[in-house]
Amino acid sequence: MEWSWTGVLYHPGWVVSTVILGLVVRMQRKGSWNPRACPVDLTGKTAIVTGANTGIGKFIALDLAHRKARVILACRSQERGQAALEEIRRKSHNSNVHLQLVDTSSLRSVRDFAHRINQEEKRLDILVNNAGASGLPKAMTSEGLELSFATNHLGPFLLTNLLLDLMKRSAPARIVNVSSANHWRGVVDFSHFHGENLTYLLDSVYNHTKLHNILCTNELARRLQGTGVTANSLHPGIVMTEVMRYYNWLIRALFNIVGFFFLKSSMEGAVSSIYCAVSEDVEGITGKYFDSDCSLVLPAPLARDPALARKDWEVCERLTGLSGGKDR
């Protein structure tokens, strides 16, 4: 009898065993920390979640709203943000959820958003920098920055810095930066910020931005010592979210098929962010990197280089106009 891969792939036993394996993996992919078992109440606290209209960000915001926090959804789209706002208010029975528009790819938009927050809010206890995208097209912003780097790193970097004084006055406070295990494949080349020496192959540019996230989080934590404000970064897991929305339809289709069995849902992917934002286990911990199961792990060697982190911070300060002190 002639053997062939086609025969194996279509054999009922192979199909059944594959489905069973996939379901087992799906059941086991959740982290050990359960947000529902965490009794932390956030009454009187204010939280901002960027990219909160969909995916991980929406579930983070929903959890914080369930805990009775005042939650500000920082979203780019009025229409999608309003839909998320209504959904979160309905599910959490918390009317103290609000929408503010911001586009993290635009430094001007970030400054306008931060100005509104500083004018309107009395405190800020939790900032979750979740907004980001992979596979963005090769493009430059009107401010001369590479689009992915502006969206995923420089915008959130500026936003965090512009809100620091408010967070210090609200201490203890927490900054949570959503990075990715993809940072292991990233490199630091400061010409990337201007769109130079980049290869736009799948997630390569995204990987570089996620490395910068961790480096600047670590340097921020060092600078915030003694203020009562902590800063940590994390890997949410490989999650089925709209982060892949800029890839072509075939890659998205394959990602979704594989993802049903092996990848986390947005709700599951939000767990490590929620853990860093509210868990008493993380109280006082700063400058660390958490895995998707909420365990404390070491990031890539490059991400642990303090001299590189300081240099990265200084470059980002110059690029966002902070080095002259005019924004703070």
Q: Which of 200, 206, 275, 289 is catalytic?
A: 206
d(CA 71, CA 166): 15
Burial class (CB in 10 A: 0-12, 13-18, 19+), 325: exposed
Burial class (CB in 10 A: 0-12, 13-18, 19+), 229: buried
Written as one letter, the residue type at 154 is: L
d(CA 247, CA 200): 11
The radius of gyration computed from the CA coordinates of the chain, to the nearest angstrom, equals: 20
Active site residue 200: no
Written as one letter, the residue type at 324 is: G
- CA atoms within 13 A of residue 180's CA, in its CB half-sphere: 23
Interior angle at CA 51, CA 144 and CA 60, nearest 5? 150
d(CA 68, CA 15): 46
d(CA 133, CA 80): 16
d(CA 283, CA 230): 9
- CA atoms within 13 A of residue 163's CA, in its CB half-sphere: 34
Q: Which residues contact 269 (CB under 8 A, 6 or more apart)?
A: 55, 56, 59, 236, 237, 239, 240, 241, 292
Beta bridge partners of 218: none
Annotated catalytic sites, by residue?
206
